[in-house]
Chain A
Amino acid sequence: MEIIEKKVIEILKKYTPNNSVWEHFMLQNNLTRDLKINSARIVDIILDIEEEYKIEISNTEIEKVTNVQEVVKLISTKTAQ
């Protein structure tokens, strides 16, 4: 889990507008509201994750994910399959 967390944060950092959003970071942070990620970039984050973990994430799965913890959980479930 911790390794996935680290990787996800590394990917997300490419898409956050500035470093200040990470100052009080919590896993419960919402991707767009708290981390200020442009909603158009969510698809790029999914692509990065798919490439990194060699998994396919469906549209329904994307819609259910809103915060960082959920992203981590989704990856760990998918890679365990």
Chain B
Amino acid sequence: MKRVVVTGMGTVSPNGHDLAAFNWGIREGISGIRFIDELAALNFRCRVGGVPVLSEDQKTILTTYGLLESSAYLQYSLLAGLEAWRDAGFEMPEPMGGDVQYDTGSIIGTGFAAMDIKGKKLVPAIDSGQIKKLRSDLVEQVMINAPTTLLTKVLALGNMNFTNSNACATGTDAILMAAQHIKCGNARRMLAGGADAYSPYYWGLFDAMRILSPEFNDRPHEASRPMSASACGFVPGAGAAILVLEEAESALERKAEIYGEIAGGHMNTGGQRNGGSMTAANNEAIVRCITLALQNAGTVPEEVDYISGHLTATKADATEILNWKTALHCTYDNFPKINSLKSLTGHLLGAAGAMETAASLLQIKGGFVHGNINCSDLHPGIAEAVSTQSIPGKTQEKIINCALKASFGFGDVNSCLVLKKFIP
């Protein structure tokens, strides 16, 4: 089996428009949550969200590719994909030129794809009988595999081209599947990650279910409160994170900068049994997912020194901590450091797992654990289960050798990655 490392990353996040800004954002505890006028005008209960603010340079790139008016999930994917490619040390091929990279593929997932464009352009045009208005390029935005197809064209990728969707576990799944593809020797490199756009046309579904945070519309930075006693629902977010996964051998050969190793992982579901349902988790399945991820990576629970939680700021947060405790055989005192990126960005849905993996790798490389904002009033169930030492409010310097990143999604689906500092 091949070993797999991460040699490049690209992120378009609510709290940082590119990788450098995102790294700064997590270190400094910068919130990307803002008030959104459109949500207020549409009578949403939750009127805040995490939406990336693109730089002028990024807008110029979008103009070059004719994507300035396209779906945000496609825009974010292109920007994150190109950033990851360059970050990994690769040159951009000539437009429509250069050799096909048959050893490089892509798996990019999404939860809701181009809902923004479907709602604003596609449906109104069809319903008003103005089909001509659609023109030819809308299909390239609306088809679910738009991001991989676009990056395949721009970067001349010739290996597996695949789009996955699995609720909140989407981004984590994409990275795990891409790693497995390389491990088995089917590709040398894979772009992998997730993307989702801001759109009231699907954020509204969650608002209607009353699972979004409605009580902090006047204080957006305080609205996303994972692990706090005052958590009242998640804050939706948008963005994309794409990683360049690479065979360790190939990365060493070309002396590439390495963020860390994807040592293994596991995906499962709880079958919507034993307490599991569309919205609740079968805890036995979660513990099993974490345990098998560790086994798959040849690691033991004692090695884990950092957890990037799913922790969305619902009542499931306390249960999640208990599940981690069970899976890692921890006591109150020896629970690893844990944080939730969602306190800073909101819940990026199909992009969440990928963005949180990128954050984990930045922490492994940078030797720190970013702070959790908005949980000084720790949930009593969590305060009882683990020491506050495990839940830093402010960023702490810390060497991380082994990290777990898990995502637990709608429909009782689970995914867990084991990330390690790379030792050749």
Physical interaction between A and B: yes
A47 at the interface (CB under 8 A from B): yes
Bound Cα distance from A41 to B95, whole angstroms: 17
Complex Cα spacing A41 to B137, Å = 8
Among A17, A18, A41, A47, point to the contact of B132 (Cβ < 8 A): A47
Check if A52 is an interface residue, CB within 8 A of chain B: no
**Chain A interfacial residues counted at CB < 8 A:** 8
Q: Which of A17, A18, A36, A41 contacts B136 (CB 8 A)?
A: A41
Which of A18, A36, A44 is the one whose CB lies under 8 Å from B137?
Answer: A44
Residue B135 lies at the interface, judged by CB distance under 8 Å to chain A: yes
Note all chain B residues with C-beta closer than 8 A to A41.
Answer: 136-137
Q: Are A18 and B95 in contact (CB under 8 A)?
A: yes
| A36 touching B132, Cβ below 8 Å | no
- In the assembled complex, the Cα of A44 lies from the Cα of B136 at a distance in Å of 6
CA distance A18 to B137 in the complex (A): 18
Is A44 within 8 A of B95, CB to CB?
A: no
Q: Which of B132, B136, B137 has the most CB of A within 10 A?
A: B136
Q: Which of A36, A40, A47 contacts B96, CB < 8 Å?
A: A36
Instruction: Please state if A40 and B95 are interface contacts (CB–CB under 8 Å).
Output: no
Contact across chains for B95 and A17 when beta carbons are under 8 A apart: yes
Complex: A18 Cα to B96 Cα, angstroms: 11
The binding surface of chain A is classed by DSSP as helix
A62 proximal to B (CB < 8 A): no
Interface string of A42-65 (1 = CB under 8 A from B): 011001000000000000000000
In terms of DSSP, what is the predominant structure of the interface of chain B? loop
Interface contact A40-B132, CB-CB below 8 Å: no
B: contact size bracket = under 10
Residues of B within 8 A of A40 (CB): 136-137, 140
How far is B137's CA from A44's CA once the two chains are assembled, in angstroms?
9
With a CB–CB cut-off of 8 A, which chain B residues contact A36? Answer: 96
Residues of B with C-beta under 8 A to A44: 135-137
Q: How far is the CA of A18 from the CA of B64 in the complex (A)?
A: 10
* Cα distance A36–B95 in the bound complex, in angstroms: 11
What separation, in Å, do the CA atoms of A79 and B201 have in the docked complex? Answer: 43
Contact of A43 among B95, B96, B135, B140 (CB under 8 A): B135
The closest CB in chain B to the CB of A50 belongs to: B132
A47 close to B95 (CB less than 8 A): no
Question: For residue B95, which residue of chain A has the nearest CB?
Answer: A17
Distance in angstroms between the alpha carbons of A40 and B135 in the assembled complex: 10
User: What are the nearest 9 A-B pairs in CB distance?
Assistant: A40-B136, A43-B136, A44-B135, A44-B136, A41-B136, A47-B132, A17-B95, A47-B135, A17-B96
Residues of B within 8 A of A (CB): 95-96, 132, 135-137, 140
Further 13 A-B residue pairs, CB within 8 A, beyond A41-B136, A43-B135, A44-B136: A17-B95, A17-B96, A18-B95, A36-B96, A40-B136, A40-B137, A40-B140, A41-B137, A43-B136, A44-B135, A44-B137, A47-B132, A47-B135
Q: Supply 5 A–B pairs (Cβ within 8 Å), ascending by A.
A: A17-B95, A40-B136, A40-B137, A41-B137, A44-B137
